[in-house]
Amino acid sequence: MTPLAAHCAPTSAHLYSGCGYPAPSVGDFFFRPIATIGGISIDKPLLLAVISGAIVLGFFWLAFRKPKIVPRGMQNVGEYGVLFVRDQIIRPMLGKAGDKYLPFLVSLFFFIWVMNLFGIIPLIEFPATSKYAYPAGLALMVWITFLTIGIKSQGLLGYLKSICVPSGAPWWILWLLVPIEFFSNVFVRPFTLSIRLMANMLAGHLLLLVFGLASWYLFTLSFAPLLFSATSFVVTVIMTALEVLIQFLQAFIFTTLTAFYIADAQAAH
Amino acid sequence: MSGERPGDKGDRPGGGPPEASGWSVFSYMIGGMVLYGAIGWLIGRWTHIPLLFPIGMLTGLGLAIALIIYRFTRS
């Protein structure tokens, strides 16, 4: 937040109070450590990431603890989730043979989704995925996975050929295109994968902050500011609804592209 | 994204979801510009001709577009 006048708390900043608008900034994405355990300082995003993992793990453990033929209650929801990832992400990309990647992709999808969802849960209101380290860590995992699968299924030379030599290009231009193909397949992919997720969550969180803070800041007992405050509040609600969609979509795209990279690593061109 | 389509698993036209093709195109363009931009910048630093940096970037962009055309329309 931009610094306010000395006598102002962020919560008391209103129009006409002389405090100025506490505009959201990059500072809102850095938190004081809550505790330090063994040299690792625990801050809010880390805590949220750990909680997300625990929620996903706990949910699926509870859902499939005593599986029944006819699913009821939590098992029903869990199966619906797993089948969604299988039928919408894995089957179109990898076919039936891709079912062995189901555990990886299901955990990836739900872990990201829950981390994103924390962006709109009241009182938590921070998506851990808007800190670059979290998407970057996940993308690193995906990167190692698809490189390993590629080398395993096509051999080192075969895989190198398939990520270096673009299909359909004539020989005289090939030597200029090989570096681009290699660079974009090996180095750009993990970056676009992680930055897309981070940037979407960061932008969404900033938007919610801008309109949320504005509706509080403009809340003053006179007609025009009150009107603006109300408008801002309505926009906050609409943006929250949009965020629900985007949070789901980003988790979906991350997982879909992971499946696509795995499929691409398996198939010889 | 309707069910299983055997043989349609690369980023060839019709294979993979539309968003995957879109991001492939995007990463080719970024890759071409960054890679040839870096080469241009290095040679420019070496020969003291700063203009080689933008020339490298534009070359990279052009080559990336050529690659996209070959990859997605003629394979």
Sequence spans of domains, chain B: 18-73
Using the beta-carbon criterion (under 8 Å), do B75 and A167 form an inter-chain contact?
yes
- Which whole-number Å values give the CA distances from A238 to A107, A170, A208, A214, in the listed order? 29, 51, 10, 15
10 Å Cβ neighbour count for A54? Answer: 11
ipTM over 0.90: no
Q: Residue A149: in which H helix or E strand, if any? A: helix A133-154
How many C-beta atoms surround the C-beta of residue A88 within 10 A? 17
At B74 the pLDDT is 64
Q: How close A218 gets to chain B, by Cα (Å)?
A: 40
pTM: 0.85
Map tokens 């890759």 to a residue: B31
- B40 min Cα distance to partner chain A (Å): 14
Q: What is the dihedral of CA A223, A228, A232, A235, to 10 degrees?
A: 100
> Is the separation of the CB atoms in A22 and A13 below 8 Å?
yes
Identify whether the C-beta of residue A135 lies closer than 8 Å to the C-beta of residue A198.
yes
* A69 pLDDT higher than 60: yes
Local structure of residue A16 (DSSP, 8 states): T
Tokens standing for residue A40: 């690792």
CB neighbour list of residue A77: distance below 8 Å, 6 or more residues apart? A63
Between positions 43 and 62 of B, the ones with CB within 8 A of A are: 60
pLDDT tens, residue by residue, A88-141: 999 988 888 889 999 999 999 999 999 999 999 988 889 999 999 999 999 999
Chain A, chain B: beta-carbon pairs less than 8 Å apart: 96
Give the tens place of pLDDT for each residue, A181-230.
999 989 999 999 999 999 999 999 999 999 988 888 888 888 888 899 99
Contact A183, B34 (CB under 8 A): yes
User: Residue A85's closest CA among A52, A59, A110?
Assistant: A110
Q: How many whole angstroms separate alpha carbon A150 and alpha carbon A268?
A: 9
